[in-house]
Structure 1
Amino acid sequence: MTLYFTGASGQVGRAMGALSPHAVGLTRRDVDLAGDVVDLRSFFSTPPPPHSVLINLAAYTAVDDAEAQENRELVHRINAIAPGELARQSQELGMAMIQVSTEYVLSGRREKGQCNPTTETPAPLSYYGQSKWEGEQAALAYGAHVVRTSWVYTGPRNSGRDFVKTMADLAGRGIDPNVVNDQWGRPTYAPHLAGGLGEMARALAGQHEAVVPADIPQVLHCAGSGEPITWYELATASFAAAGYDSQRVTGIPTSEYPTPAKRPLNAALCVDEWERLGLAPLPAWQAGLAKAMQ
């Protein structure tokens, strides 16, 4: 199998490159998803090898900035239009494709303690979520598979930003944050997600010992295992893992922390179908957090 992935400079892309050094990472210089024409085929001077798989990790992920009217055309191009073009061209090139999506496509209205199955009808609350939902539909129309994930982080080693890194930075700077305690989800350590996506790619290529390509559903959820938690719980755990007093974090309701983009309150993804298929469950979020802080 030859694995190709877009978004090579993003946090999951960097993790994918470190985990799979023989995979081919594509940056915006290789394939510009924000351009008027998305041309994956021009990257290949010869057809890709048999059993090749493309993972689209590239996305516009600044959730609140996506709400601004002046950013919407760019968000739409990257998140809604480009996945369909990548899927169409992958199909023409004979490659399987995985479109990575997000819990933001869901409404999050399920009761606390319930998880959102892959059959949950998408009902995005934000423009970012809407654009990702449109991207899912566009990719599925050309035979791609969709994998939704949630609350992705790398931690202090992240050259960009993520929640765990932010909490560790605040702790070190002596800032005591207020963090929402009524939004639920599954934190996902970027290297663990990269490993799960790589395993699914091998399955799609027919190179998995337990999974037959024809058995793989078009939509799957892949996120950190363990019980869903709140952002407040992740914040307190991040403070403690960084060696600081977790009681410095104060829990507040979402109503006291307004944001331009509305968040799903219960964003916990059901991940049992991933394991039932024969793919290895991702480690629990506590294991990921411990790795992130090493």
Structure 2
Amino acid sequence: MTAPRHPLLALALSLALALLCGCLSADEPAAAPVGGKVKVVASTVPLGTFSSMVGGDLVEVAVLVPPGASPHTFEPTPSKLAEVAEAELYIKNGAGLEIWMERMIQANRRMLVVDTSTGVELIETAGSSCHEKILTADPHIWLSPKNAMIIVEEICDGLVEVDPENAEAYRRNRDDYLLRLEELDRELESAFSGASRREFIVLHPAWSYFARDYALVQVAILEGDKEPGPRYLAEIVEVAREENLTTIFVDPNFSPKSAEIIAGEIGGRVVPLDPLAEDYIENMRAVSREIGRSLEG
């Protein structure tokens, strides 16, 4: 018998024989879509991680705000806009982080935009505009394993919508990652359940959702993204001394000057916490360990 001349027919017969012989397992990753991998653009590194965990080999993920850059001050470059122009799915934070979001939509009105803040109970923070105090949502929603589970669900729904043929694979990947996030959440609840103190000092107020999850109190140095005045610095020094707090946590994307001043006043130390690390679960474990140590005195 001669081999089929049509390459697609030959491929189909090869796959059929492989299945009959047990060469392909149902536990192996699903093949990429017929048209190629789904092109996904995520606003930040953590959202890119979540997208990769749900999408697996079926997606090609690009991150808009690169490692080491701050989403608060990011300006999209032409090359980043070109990535967005080719995307089928855009994963946005959705809690006010992407002040440049309209430019992304204009670059590609065909793509599906997933708002990962949908379903998250947002924390309001005080801000100011034209000398008037306003309330805005705290955008750091991903820094909470409980919120991360909601975000992963939203990403999965988006992938299923743009690539329904691989819905089962996306849902399987989602469920696997949700189990890991649930385990992380239990670990952190256990780690902080017996803490005798609850306050920790941070430079940038990124850890509000984390603090809410585990009944902690975040004391922030920066007022929004603004450097504090001398009076507020003095208040934080007083709180640190009263509560015997000797660790100041800093965000690598912000100047540590204010934190270093306070650390000098209280004889403390400055410790970095990265809110945008790529390995989300291990980073949150590391954050938990550092904050836990600071509560021990």
TM-score normalized by the length of structure 2? 0.28
The structure with more helix, counted as a fraction of residues: 2
- Which structure would you say has the larger RCO, counting Cα contacts within 8 Å and 6 or more residues apart? 1
